[in-house]
Structure 1
């Protein structure tokens, strides 16, 4: 009998674990609702700039005017078209939140797998560094950095991503410590696969279930943090069209012009609910809750 090849050490079930989790999660009604809600907001954010009636900085009405000719929802605090600002403001939120969540999850996954597999002093060093980062609440840390260095796009993404990394790393580390006791990992070590290949090919696919759940959670938190930073004036700066900034700019005129605040608030809420429902479906699929129970 010939010796098993290196690719044979990855079982078919392992290679399709992530896809199987997604298929199982799709069986939940809440996941479908979440995809519809999230897809709606993503469509508005992506297609909005192409169908907006005006440019986001064009003055078309009096400040806080609701019935101006040529507008659907009137003007904002400076007389710019509310609908146009809303249609232009979503893609920045999605871009910043998605980038921060993605970078944070990838970095956390690397740290978690390395710490869980290598163990020893490297594990201790990485986890103690994680503890230091976890000591700072996400929003407070972001506000502190923004107030010192100033609001910049790359800095917003970096700060949020760094705040996500230790949380993801802890989850992945625990999942890794369970995986490394499995026979396929020991077999890969026995045939002399390099450690980096074992971590990338043998371990990482087997922690994909909690990793996908973490991605959903981190995306939810990122949306909230980006929106709050914009509202507090520490995110994107005027005259950029941004949902969080729209809420901040128009909150004082809500009695006269509610749409300038209601539209972005509703969109952020729907997006958050949609992502939460998808994450809940993924978590239920990961722990094996039956689809017929608590849809």
Structure 2
């Protein structure tokens, strides 16, 4: 009679602390983000990223046509009518094509990143929580896809149907999902072993609710880091596929297509290649470096969380004795 209330009280006390973890983790993620922005690395990388994004999304608002004839092909900026960056292979203004050519690429990269991180997180969390056959099935499948280079995997999917924009998003997203799955799987293994997750499972809470409400909120910072990394890789991969002819069809401006079609005239006007390539490089460096700043800032938060959970488990253990 006296032994039954003790485990029930202990489990209830542990479960009672579970709802508080969500807000605490949200505040911890904000603190990590603020700590990353507080460093020189974080501020510079965030500034570079915002600068390129501003050019990509606000550029189309600048009056001017990216398809109108401005001057003879590959005219340098000194030619009248050529503009600040000269003209491209068709005599169109490089400046206006740069301003109008990033929005479509950014949208494709964002959607591909959502697919990569979303599907990879689901695979990693489910594999870490379920264990056994499900874990082996999912992670061995991840290993198989990881063995295929990302560009080859994307080209394989695109060659089956064609250069459709939705297939481009799907190909880039699925080619990067295994990397996210590996990272989240490693991070989720320690979270699924926490006492509060086991206590909620004992109370009969459905698996999807446990993963969505108690496991994923404790993986906020790794997910933030993966978002930054996958975004930078998605941008580079989509630009590379555009360079190979799988991007926006002519005469629509596209930074990746611009690099390909203007490389033959670099000796006359190098800005047709340098301007879009420089923006792509700055965005990739900015997002990648900011993700690194978040990872560095997370080190203190992770150790602090472990200390809090250990302290919270102490009185419960003593009370059960």
TM-score relative to the length of structure 2: 0.84
The residue number in structure 2 matching 1:101 is 113
Distance in 2 (CA, whole Å) between partners of 1:241 and 1:235 is 10
State yes or no: 1:213 paired with 2:222.
no
Q: What is the DSSP-based 3-state SS (H/G/I as helix, E as strand, rest coil) of the residue aligned with 1:16?
A: helix
2:75 pairs with one of 27, 41, 65: 65
Highest Rg: 1 or 2? 2
Deviations 1:144-181 (A, max 9, x none): 33234221211111001101111111111121111111
How far apart are the structure 2 equivalents of 1:203 and 1:278?
25
Matches within 5 A, 1:107-256: 107-256=119-268
**What stretches of structure 1 move > 6 A for 4+ residues in a row?**
4-7
Structure that is richer in helix per residue:
2
How many Å separate the matches in 2 of 1:121 and 1:147? Answer: 34
Q: Distance in 2 between matches of 1:101 and 1:224?
A: 12
1:265 and 1:7, CA in 2 relative to 1: closer, same or farther beyond 3 A? farther
Give the aligned CA root-mean-square deviation in angstroms.
Answer: 2.0
Of the candidates 43, 48, 64, which is equivalent to residue 59 of structure 2?
A: 48
Q: Deviations for 1:84-136, whole angstroms, at most 9, x for unmatched residues?
A: 10100111221111111111101111111111101121111111211221121
Q: Is the 8 A contact 1:52 1:83 kept in 2?
A: no
> Which sections of structure 1, spanning at least 5 residues, go unmatched?
290-295
Q: What is the CA-CA distance between 1:271 and the residue it aligns to? A: 0.8
Q: Which runs of 5+ in 2 are unaligned?
A: 1-8, 302-321
The answer as to whether partners of 2:125 and 2:184 remain within 8 angstroms in 1 is yes
CA contact (8 A) 1:68 1:74 kept: no
TM, length-normalised to structure 1: 0.91
Q: In structure 2, how many angstroms separate the alpha carbons of the residues matched to 1:202 and 1:16?
A: 15
Q: Given that residues 143 and 234 in structure 1 are in contact (C-alpha distance below 8 angstroms), is that contact kept between their aligned partners in structure 2?
A: no
How many residues are aligned here? 288
1:272 aligns with 2:259: no
1:70 & 1:253 partners in 2: Cα distance?
A: 15
